[in-house]
Amino acid sequence: MMVFRAEQLGADRGIQGAFLRAVEGGAQMVVGLDITDEAAEAFLLDPRVMSKLPSVVLFMDGSETLSRELTQLQGGLRPQDPGSWRTALARRLPWSSDGQGLEVWDTVQQLLRRHDSDNFLFVYLVLVNQYVTTVRQVADTTKGFDLQSIFCMVKNCGSKVVGCVQDTTCKSALDCLQACSFNDQVCQYRCIVSYESPLLEQFSLCILQLHNCRNLDAKPPLLPGGV
């Protein structure tokens, strides 16, 4: 990963050259955060520079022009345009490639709104996990329900799913968990404690443990040798 300061990118030809060499050398994504420097904006909006940018580009919390003109996800999806037909379709098809990209965009926005260093770091881990290589800790945390997961639930746990959604307490637990931020374990714990019930326990046991419908890969930690 290479990091460039906006003011240098706007004024230093050596830094500009290094940036261009990086994107021409196979950079898989470009992420810009809180860029307000006008010279840097002009450099990035130069057609000669724009033509060299990779397929995944995100500009956030800075110049609205950069975000509007340059931000795009894999396949050309432009998540910053909520009124487009493609974005609307992606919302309805969360398991599609565009839907997954939109979920990443929403996750990044959610993390940035927390304004702390831990979540700022997690932004980059989420992006690396989605577009570069699997980061297991992130993959298991952010994994949702795709078609394979839904098929697994219907096939193996259909009665448990129906029983839970038809029960007021169990359904409230699911709604509460759905409203939690994806990595907010305190919120998730409160939901489980607040709406704990035998139906929720059976639902969770069937989907998460007996059949692993979310295809999680959480392994127990290994103890040091001799302990």
Arithmetic mean of pLDDT, 96-112: 85
Residue 86 and residue 98: Cα distance in Å, rounded?
Answer: 8
pLDDT digits (tens, 9 = 90+) for 152-167: 888 999 999 999 999 9
| pLDDT, greater one: 115 or 78 | 78
pLDDT confidence of 141, banded at 50, 70, 90?
low
Residues 6+ apart with CB under 8 A from 57: 29, 30, 31, 70, 71, 72
Report the C-alpha gap between 36 and 97 in whole angstroms: 31
Predicted pLDDT of residue 15: 94
* pLDDT at res. 227: 46
Q: Residue 57's beta-bridge partner residues?
A: 30, 72
pLDDT score of 219: 59
Q: What string of H, E and C letters represents the secondary structure of 121-179?
A: HHHHHHHHHHHCCCCHHHHHHHCCCCHHHHHHHHHHHHHHHHHHHHCHHHHHHHHHHHH
What digits encode the pLDDT tens for the residues 57-80? Answer: 999 888 899 998 999 988 888 888
Report the share of the chain in percent with pLDDT over 90.
Answer: 37
Instruction: Quickly tell me which residue has 């995100």 as its tokens.
Output: 58
User: Taking the model in full, what pTM does it have?
Assistant: 0.63
* Interaxial angle between packed helices 185-194 and 168-179, expressed in degrees from 0 to 180 and rounded to the nearest 10: 170
